[in-house]
Amino acid sequence: MLTIQDIFKSFKHPLTKEREDLINKAYEFATFAHQGQQRKSGDDYIQHSLATAKILAKMGMRSKTITAALLHDVPEDTFVTLKEIEDKFGKEIATMVDGITKLGKIKLRGSQKEYFIENLRKMFLAMAADIRVVIIKLADRLTNMKTLQYLPPEKQQRIANETMIVFVPIANRLGIGEIKGQLEDLSFRYLDPENYIKVKDLIAEEYKGMEKYINLAIRDLKKELENNGIKVIDIYGRSKHIYRLFLKLKRHDMNLSAIYDLMAVRIIVPEISDCYETLGIVHKKYRPMVGRIKDYVSLPKPNGYQSIHTTIFGPEGKILEVQIRTQKMNDEAEFGIAAHWIYGEKEHKRLKKYFTRKKKRIIKELKWVKQLHEWQNEIGSDDEEFLEGLRIDFFKNHIFAFTPKGDIIDLPEESTTVDFAYSIHSDIGNRINGARINGKIVPINYQIKNGDVVEIMFSKEKRKPNRDWLKFVKTSVAKSHIKRELKK
Ligand code: MN
């Protein structure tokens, strides 16, 4: 059972008296309001509020967000009104709580596509108003997913499906990798239990031997780095999220030995320059695998992800993936946009400025949020107008397309099926030999339209991309992969 002390323990900021009082007050108020209510698990309702708050505290969110999280189900589920919350906690917190309540009123209807756009629309609205609302909503969803076993099967399916379609893409867009990974794994468990168990069984044996090996590798790597004067802030093994592993296994005929990053060693160092120095030291000691060095530090992924990945023949000659990054990159990879709250007032101010002022390159990866915000300011909240605005302004430079399974892939406009293939995986890009759009076969230079369901056909054997593709692909990911592959 969680207590409010667990929240304080997870809190990443100096806990002033004022902050502590605010959080305590919210806790007491919520406990009182939810009194007598129980979750389906049999727990007191406040356990759900505490669990949500704890996730946020661990992400580095600040006291007002934690306060709103503790109160998030109060107006929805109790006799207490929003007005009372505003009187007690002020307008800012009440507005956040209201936003969460409104987001909770999402109902499933229409086709998957309509459903997705409808939900996205609500999320975007809330996000543009206050991004903290969406972050709380994600934490709320995660705690609900963790207790899904207590709900009837029908509800489990609906909620897991909604999580995959709506919340996973949003966590991804906000760069909150840690929540995204957990949401995917939990949904996967309910949506495709057969494969979930299959993957779990497949790795159970593998992991046993691996853990020992990882510990050995960590010890050797650490010693080597420290002997070379690198300050290692942290070094640990990380295992791949189950759902991501499943997707990868599917591309390799469920052959586990083709997966090199089942477990990886992650090295956290102080500065960017240390990342490259570390890479050099690691490669000097252990031979790197050709074509497996990925420098996402100088070339971040579209969602802002930064890290250096390399695959080496580690201790005992075994293949091992090593990931090198700074603490800040690590926090940003796990907590995404929320990491900006960790990096103190200065960063917070920077973010605020970023949301309110037109500036060219402040946080490049969050450009779309800014766009959204600007456009939200320009148009009213009228529904018709909203949809029109969504189409014209936001979707202008973005296409949302679907995999046959309903995963959402977003691409710049005029992207082709080849771009789509590369955005799923470089291997699929290289092997593409055809595509179906909404069930119909199209040429691979077909330009994808919003809402298209794209099915990529690819050959089983390794193939090289075609030079001509460079003439029509739009994304830099596709371009760089094609060029790199052709050089080989
Ligand atoms: Mn809730």
Kindly list the domain boundaries of the chain, sorted by start residue.
Answer: 212-332, 398-487
pTM higher than 0.75, yes or no? no
pLDDT, position 85? 96
pLDDT at 129: 58
The partner residues of 238 in beta bridges, in order of sequence, read 264
How close is the Cα of 200 to the center of ligand 1, in Å?
29
Distance 447 CA to ligand 1 centre (A): 41
pLDDT in tens, the chain (488 residues): 999 999 999 998 888 999 999 999 999 999 999 999 999 999 999 999 999 999 999 988 889 999 999 999 999 888 899 999 999 999 989 988 988 887 766 444 445 555 555 556 555 555 545 778 888 999 999 999 999 999 999 999 989 988 887 788 778 767 788 899 999 999 999 999 999 999 999 888 888 888 889 999 999 999 999 999 999 999 999 888 999 999 999 999 888 888 888 889 999 999 999 999 999 999 999 999 988 899 998 887 766 788 999 999 998 888 899 999 999 888 888 877 666 655 544 544 544 554 443 333 333 334 445 544 444 444 333 334 443 433 333 444 667 677 776 566 778 778 999 999 998 899 999 999 999 998 899 999 999 986 678 999 999 888 889 999 999 998 888 998 999 999 88
Ligand 1 center to 42 CA (angstroms): 15
Query: Which residue has 């690691």 as its token pair?
Result: 282
The number of CA neighbours under 13 Å toward the Cβ of 170 is: 28
User: Judging by beta carbons within 10 Å of its beta carbon (0-12, 13-18, 19+), is residue 440 exposed, middle or buried?
Assistant: exposed
Longest dimension (CA), the chain: 67
Fold of 212-332: Beta Polymerase; domain 2 (3.30.460)
List the shell of residues around ion ligand 1, using CB closer than 5 Å.
73, 140
Do 165 and 116 meet the contact criterion of CB atoms below 8 Å apart? yes
21 is catalytic: no
Residue tagged active-site, from 76, 277, 295, 414: 76
77 is catalytic: yes
Scanning the structure block, which residue is given the tokens 């800012």? 92
Inter-CA distances, 487 with 446, 466, 482, 483, 484, Å? 25, 12, 9, 6, 5
Which one of 77, 224, 413, 427 is the catalytic residue?
Answer: 77
In order of 22, 42, 51, 230, the CA distances from 71 in angstroms are 12, 20, 12, 45
Centroid of ligand 1 to alpha carbon of 357 (angstroms): 33
Asked if 195 and 246 touch (Cβ cutoff 8 Å), the reply is: yes
Options 3.10.20.30, 3.40.50.280, 3.40.50.1240, 3.40.50.300; CATH for 398-487 is: 3.10.20.30
Distance 161 CA to ligand 1 centre (A): 18
- The rounded Å distance from CA 36 to ligand 1 centre is 16
CA of 144 to the centre of ligand 1 (A): 7
Q: How far apart are CA 171 and CA 138, in angstroms?
A: 7
